[in-house]
Amino acid sequence: MDINVNVKSNVQIKAFYLFYVIVGTQIGVGIMGAPRFIFTEARQDSWVSILIAFVFMSIVVLVMITILKQYENADIFGIQTDVFGKWIGTILGTLYVLYLASSLLSILLTYSQVVKIFLYHTFPNFTLGAMLLFLTIYAVFGGIRVVVGVTFIFFFLTFWLILLFYDPITRMEWTNLLPMFQATVPELLKGARATTYTLAGFEILFLIYPFIQNKEKIKLPALLGLAFTTFILMVTTVISIGYFSHKGLEHVDWSVLILFKSVSLTFFERLDYIVIVEWVMVILPNIVVLMWAITYGVKRLYKVPQRISVYVFSVIFLVIVSFMEYEHHISIITDYVSQVSFWIIFVYPLILFPLVIIKKKWRKNKGSAAK
Amino acid sequence: MRRRHGSKNKKDSIFPITIDELEKTLSSKFENNPDLKFSKYDQQGQKIAVFFIDYQVSSDKLQQALLVPLLGMKKEWTNDSILNEIPINSGTKISSFEDILKKLVIGEVFIYAEGEEEAISYLLLHKESRSLEKAETESLVLGPKISFTESLATNLNIVRWRIKSTDLVLEEFKIGKTMPHDIRLVYMKSIANEEDVNTVRQRLQELDVDEIEDSVVLKQYLEDSQTNLFPQFDHTELPDRFTYAVKKGKIGILVENSPSGFIAPATLYSFLETTEDLYMRWQAGTFLRILRFIAVIFSILVTPMYIAAATYQYTIIPTQILLTIGQSRAAVPFPPIIEALILEFLLELLREAGARLPTKVGQTMGIVGGIVVGTAAVEAGITSNILIIVVAMSALSSFTIPSYLFGTTIRLIRFPMMILAGFLGFLGIIFGICWLIIHLLRLTSLGRPYLVPLYPLKLHDFNKVFFRTPFNYTYNRAQSYRPKDLIRFSKKDATKKRDIDE
């Protein structure tokens, strides 16, 4: 496998779109239930936890960018092969792809769960999965240009949802956020860790990097993307804490969706139905980017054409989604994904970083010795 | 083309030949066809034949410019003296029999002096065409009213008069193997993107068909993909729209015998623009353009939303309206999807019947259909009167689209959307919208993205596409089409602010 990737100029994208790719991959099903998980750890100081998570996340992203800058035009698969050799590199790459696949699966399952709870109680997983995967296949076949386009267009088509918070904001009890700074440091850190599942998604940088045209400019859009996601998570968490009582929030499963229940306009009595179906547009960029990343990874590792692997993975996902009916199975998968994602996307780059630097130094020495 | 003919010259030359034999050979080709006029003249002992197809040549010109001098001068003719002394230009020598047949058909007159190696042909074309008329399918309130006609020469004349510049190129192509059509590629040499011109040229050259019916058919042959819903080139019968696009660096194509041309590349929004937006003041232009964007979205979504809300998510309807809808639907025995499909079908029938019938009957039909059938349907309890309003609004919105082809696409999209809404409610509608957006993202026109300048984002082009600004802010051409020359006029002069009382 080549370490560096040759990308034709007509499939390259501008660094500017990285903002949308990162936001589109980060914001998905996680945010619907996130406030509860953060709140159970850090109570009314959850917003501090989110800020800690943001700082940590920014450090990780900067480390990722530094790792990528050591190479000419490489992605995670090439870097792993370079650092660990062909065999271990391929195994690690496969694990990475499996992680991406399981997070795609958890998105599909969680959303089908939400549709069952809020919309149609007996809606078959198969139908929902088939429709979402059909859209995904159709988008992935358009290539990276369409995948990025999906994240870009759907960002604007879902942005208006945030305006609907005007109603819960007017109803919230600001004193719920007081007294401030009561949580201990371990509690805050635990709260920060609870954001993992929601904030996962920026690992896409490791895969999309070779496709970026002006690589010198990627820092700003990447960090702005993280900041935007953090902002959204912060807003939803703070509103949830103010809107629900402390005891209530611990027991509310999809707190963010319930926030929309009280929104009412003169021409739309209840907007929560609209919000739940609109969430398809929130998760679609997720699924499309992940599916592209999975098939691209398989292509890099095993030279399987994306045209074939897209179908194969879709069928596998569809079969699994159709048989996973029960909530406890789904929560097991989601928990597992959030556990794994903490290690893979937050910790792993920090481990990889010194190895890449050492390897580079070693190669330099070897090069000068040979001379 | 020319070279190929040159090499054939020697091979199928039938000359020299006696006049009688020539007549026999020709009339064997025109069996049962009384139109070939073959006249033999005896001039000072030399035999001369003049032959042509009767109605393809203008008989006045033939008489005065050709026959009078030919027969009037008492001398012996050779090819050279004919070319020299007959007062018509464009005389050519032709020896290939195939060529003679081809040129006979398009209205050339041939003279053959017995014993010569070649015949001489003159183009004395006579072509019937209608005079210039007002545009029918794309009507404007302001601005020029004429539309293209079926005659390519007239159309070229109009285009040349609208763009008086030596930069304008009208490249000639012939499409169709057995029945060739003249095609003209129209673009501005100093503005149009070279790559785009080459792409169109290549597609035209590689096109391997026996014949084409019309410019709309040629358009479909040249498009990037034929399997999708949306038209990819902009089709127009208005010369001002055509030349406006050409002046902005796009490429126009005119086809012989077709009263419309088409423009490439196009974007989704170019189908929603009219030149009238430019003739209005910029506020009104912006308003109308945004109105049309909303109309398209409205037209696609309003009926499916009614179906979804009335079938599944009726709690989103405010209580008072819900009561009204409930009352009006109480007599209707069908589910909303069937009710809506019936009414939409009825409306499409009315539209199609209106388009097929003669204008006078068509108007009556519209009134009969709209008022009588609509009222009767409500009273008979087939549909609710709320739905009639909904369907009528959706139809009305779809008629605001300036491009007829695009309007048809929008009307077509409504049906799958309605069925999705009938089966899955709002979830179905969202799936439909997502599919449409991905579909549009995948589309290209001449290899350029279909959604530009929205994606890829080109903020500078927004004031040429989504809204209009005063003209001193449109100092650049749209970047989206990558013109060779981006600047129209100096930004500094146009936006210069003078101080008070200066």
Q: How far is A113 from chain B, CA to nearest CA, in Å?
A: 14
Secondary element (H or E) of residue A369: helix A348-370
Name the token pair of B375. 């009222």
Q: Residue B32 — very low, low, confident or very high, per pLDDT cuts 50/70/90? A: confident
Least confident interval from A104-108, A159-163, B23-27: B23-27
Q: Nearest CA to A78 among A297, A251, A256, A230? A: A297
Return phi, psi of residue B168, to 5°. Answer: -70, 125
Q: Do B441 and A154 touch (CB under 8 A)?
A: no
Nearest-by-Cβ selection for B434 from A142, A152, A280: A280
Side-chain half-sphere of B475: how many Cα atoms within 13 Å? 10
Say yes or no to pLDDT of B75 above 80.
no
Nearest-by-Cβ selection for A150 from B319, B431, B438: B438
Quick one: pLDDT at residue B443? 93
Q: Is any Cβ of chain A less than 8 angstroms from the Cβ of B306?
A: no
Q: Is the peptide bond before A179 cis (omega within 30 degrees of 0)?
A: yes
Say yes or no to pLDDT of B2 above 70.
no
Mutate to test the interface with B, among A14, A120, A277, A283 (most CBs of B within 10 A): A277
The question of ipTM being above 0.90 is answered as: yes
Q: Do A149 and B451 touch (CB under 8 A)?
A: yes
Note the helical H segments in B330-465. Answer: 336-356, 359-367, 374-380, 385-398, 404-424, 426-442, 462-465
Mutate to test the interface with A, among B434, B443, B444 (most CBs of A within 10 A): B434
Q: Do B316 and A268 touch (CB under 8 A)?
A: yes
Quick one: pLDDT at residue B9? 47
Say yes or no to pLDDT of B371 above 80.
no
Percent of chain B with pLDDT over 90: 36
Q: Is any Cβ of chain A less than 8 angstroms from the Cβ of B429?
A: yes
Say how far apart CA A148 and CA A146 lie, in whole Å: 5
The 8-class DSSP code of residue B106 comes to T
Quick one: pLDDT at residue B436? 95
Q: Is any Cβ of chain A less than 8 angstroms from the Cβ of B462?
A: no
Q: Do A281 and B427 touch (CB under 8 A)?
A: no
Quick one: pLDDT at residue A38? 92
Average predicted confidence (pLDDT) for chain B? 87
Say how far apart CA B163 and CA B246 lie, in whole Å: 9
Quick one: pLDDT at residue A43? 84
Q: Residue B43 — very low, low, confident or very high, per pLDDT cuts 50/70/90? A: confident
Kindly state the average pLDDT of the residues B373-398. 87
- Tens-place pLDDT, residues B155-178: 999 999 999 999 999 999 999 888
Say how far apart CA B99 and CA B10 lie, in whole Å: 12
Angle at B378 between CA B375 and CA B381, to 5 degrees: 145
For chain A, helix (H) and strand (E) counts, in that order, are 18, 0
Mutate to test the interface with A, among B438, B442, B444, B479 (most CBs of A within 10 A): B438
Average predicted confidence (pLDDT) for chain A? 91
Kindly state the average pLDDT of the residues B136-153. 88
Secondary element (H or E) of residue B175: strand B168-175
Contact of A218 with A67, CB cutoff 8 Å: no
Partners of B456 on chain A (C-beta within 8 Å) are 14
The 8-class DSSP code of residue B248 comes to T
Say yes or no to pLDDT of B5 above 60.
no
- Tens-place pLDDT, residues B389-443: 899 899 899 989 999 899 999 999 999 999 999 999 999 999 999 999 999 999 9
Percent of chain B with pLDDT over 70: 98
Partners of B425 on chain A (C-beta within 8 Å) are 119-120, 277
Q: How far is A216 from chain B, CA to nearest CA, in Å?
A: 20
Q: Is any Cβ of chain A less than 8 angstroms from the Cβ of B439?
A: yes
Least confident interval from B91-95, B174-178, B264-268, B434-438: B91-95
Q: Residue B127 — very low, low, confident or very high, per pLDDT cuts 50/70/90? A: confident
- Tens-place pLDDT, residues A298-353: 999 999 999 999 999 999 999 999 988 788 888 888 888 888 989 998 999 999 99
Least confident interval from A17-26, B145-154, B249-258, B490-499: B490-499
Side-chain half-sphere of B234: how many Cα atoms within 13 Å? 29
Q: Is any Cβ of chain B less than 8 angstroms from the Cβ of A115?
A: yes
Say how far apart CA B48 and CA B50 lie, in whole Å: 7
Mutate to test the interface with B, among A21, A135, A146 (most CBs of B within 10 A): A146
Name the token pair of A162. 């945030």
Kindly state the greatest CA–CA separation across chain B: 103
Q: Do B427 and A146 touch (CB under 8 A)?
A: no
User: What spatial distance separates the first Cα and last Cα of chain B, rounded to whole Å?
Assistant: 64
Residues B326-352 as b/e (b if ≥16 CB within 10 A, e otherwise) read eebbeebeeebbebbbbbbebbeebbe
Q: Which amino acid is at B301?
A: L
Say yes or no to pLDDT of A369 above 70.
no
The three-state secondary structure class of B410 is helix
Name the token pair of B324. 């009204």
Q: How far is B356 from chain A, CA to nearest CA, in Å?
A: 38
Q: Do B426 and A273 touch (CB under 8 A)?
A: yes
Q: Do B456 and A14 touch (CB under 8 A)?
A: yes
The three-state secondary structure class of A8 is coil
Q: What DSSP line would sit under A253-290, residue for residue? A: SSHHHHHGGG---SS-S--HHHHHHHHHHHHHHHHHHH
Handedness of CA A264, A267, A273, A274 (dihedral sign): negative
Nearest-by-Cβ selection for B427 from A145, A277, A284: A277
Q: How far is A271 from chain B, CA to nearest CA, in Å?
A: 7
User: Domain A9-370 carries which CATH code?
Assistant: 1.20.1740.10
Domain ranges of chain A: 9-370
Say yes or no to pLDDT of B253 above 50.
yes
Partners of A115 on chain B (C-beta within 8 Å) are 427
Handedness of CA A266, A267, A269, A272 (dihedral sign): negative
Say yes or no to pLDDT of A159 above 50.
yes
Q: Do B319 and A269 touch (CB under 8 A)?
A: yes
Q: How far is A333 from chain B, CA to nearest CA, in Å?
A: 25
User: Which residues, 6+ apart, have CB-to-CB distance to A155 below 8 Å?
Assistant: A20, A23, A24, A285
Quick one: pLDDT at residue B67? 84
User: Which residues, 6+ apart, have CB-to-CB distance to A339 below 8 Å?
Assistant: none
Quick one: pLDDT at residue B356? 86
Q: How far is A266 from chain B, CA to nearest CA, in Å?
A: 7
Q: Do A119 and B431 touch (CB under 8 A)?
A: no
Least confident interval from B6-20, B109-123, B177-191, B204-218: B6-20
Q: Is any Cβ of chain A less than 8 angstroms from the Cβ of B386?
A: no
With CA atoms as reference, the chain A residue closest to B451 would be A149
Query: Going edge to edge, which strands form the sheet with B92-94?
Result: B36-43, B46-53, B108-113, B119-123, B92-94
